Amino acid sequence: MMKTVFGVKCVVPNNYLVWEATRPLADCSICSNLSSVIILPNVTREEFTNYAYSYQPIIVKGAALHWLARKSFDYYFFKEMFERIEGAHESVEEECQFLNFKTDFATLREVFEMPPGRVKNSKGYKPWYIGWSNCHPEVLKEMRLHYSKPHFIPLNAEHSHVDFVFMGYQQGAFMHLDYITRLMWQAQLRGHKTWRLNPPPECEMMCKSFSFEVFPGDILLLDTRQWYHDTRIREGEFSITVSSEYG
């Protein structure tokens, strides 16, 4: 991640070891009776009230099926937008965050320069999966024409001013915690993604690990600050999600 200090750019690494060593111990009682994800139909805001700030993972089925982003968002949508909007790439490099996970990409620019065969995960090319946060005002404005905040989230909830996009094939994210300030929602726009959740190490004797699959059009709500998680995409499928925070 790039920061500017007295006008000079320097690289500040995401130091997961430091974060892990200094994180507060979890209250294991909140996960001791959990062994699966809650699956809800496409609920109203009133019906969702009792679940809104739950520690238990929740899938709201079909809540994003009507979003335009399910058809419009793909690799080339974002490639064209980032090439067209002045300062879009710089905003990711200097203000936001690029997550390369297990790939060999150093920047989002490199992602949008890959050959067509790799874009499609053709035979002979390495699979790829990346994510990035969007904080450029014009980028966010254009993105949000294609989706909205989940309709069931409480009206008084605070929302992040940054939205993430995750896309790619197969490997997904490695096992990790998110060092964020609020709960996370993530809309699965394309592809099927399997999530595997592990409790914090201090809770392994009381809490269980489990996994579940999220389908296109579903919205997942998860406290990624407490659950260690990794993801994997169905073989041969392209996955794209949009994600943000609320609390």
Q: Would residue 4 count as lying in a domain? A: no
- Angle of CA points 156, 160, 36, to nearest 5°: 80
CATH number of the domain within which 41 lies: 2.60.120.650
Is residue 7 in a domain? no
Domain assignment of residue 214, yes or no: yes
Q: Is residue 133 assigned to a domain?
A: yes
In a domain, 224, yes or no: yes
pTM of the model: 0.90
Residue 34 belongs to a domain:
yes
| pLDDT at 88 (0 to 100) | 98
Return the pLDDT at 10. Answer: 38
Q: pLDDT tens digits, the chain, 247 residues: what are they?
A: 444 333 333 333 455 566 666 778 888 998 999 999 999 999 999 999 999 998 899 999 999 999 999 999 999 999 999 999 999 999 999 999 999 999 999 999 999 999 999 999 999 999 999 999 999 999 999 999 999 999 999 999 999 999 999 999 998 888 999 888 889 999 999 999 999 999 999 999 999 999 999 999 999 999 998 999 999 999 999 999 999 999 9
Residue range(s) defining the domain that contains residue 195: 16-246
Q: How far is CA 239 from CA 14, 75, 245, in A?
A: 25, 10, 20
**What is residue 30's predicted lDDT score, i.e. its pLDDT?**
86
Residue 5 lies in a domain: no
Domain-embedded: residue 85? yes
What strands, in cross-sheet order, belong to the sheet with 228-233?
210-214, 193-198, 228-233
pLDDT for position 62: 98
Query: What is the pLDDT, as a whole number, of residue 179?
Result: 83
Please count the structural domains in the chain.
1
DSSP string over the chain? -EEEETTEEEE----HHHHHHHSPPP-GGGTTT--S-EEE-S--HHHHGGGTT-SS-EEETTTTTT-THHHH-SHHHHHHHHHHSTTHHHHHHHTS-EE-TTSS-SSHHHHTTS-HHHHTT-TTS---EEEEEE--HHHHHHHTTS--S-TTS-TT--B-S-EEEEEEETT-PPSB----SSEEEEEEEES-EEEEEE--GGGTTTS--EEEEE-TT-EEEE-TTTSEEEEEEPTT-EEEEEEEEE-
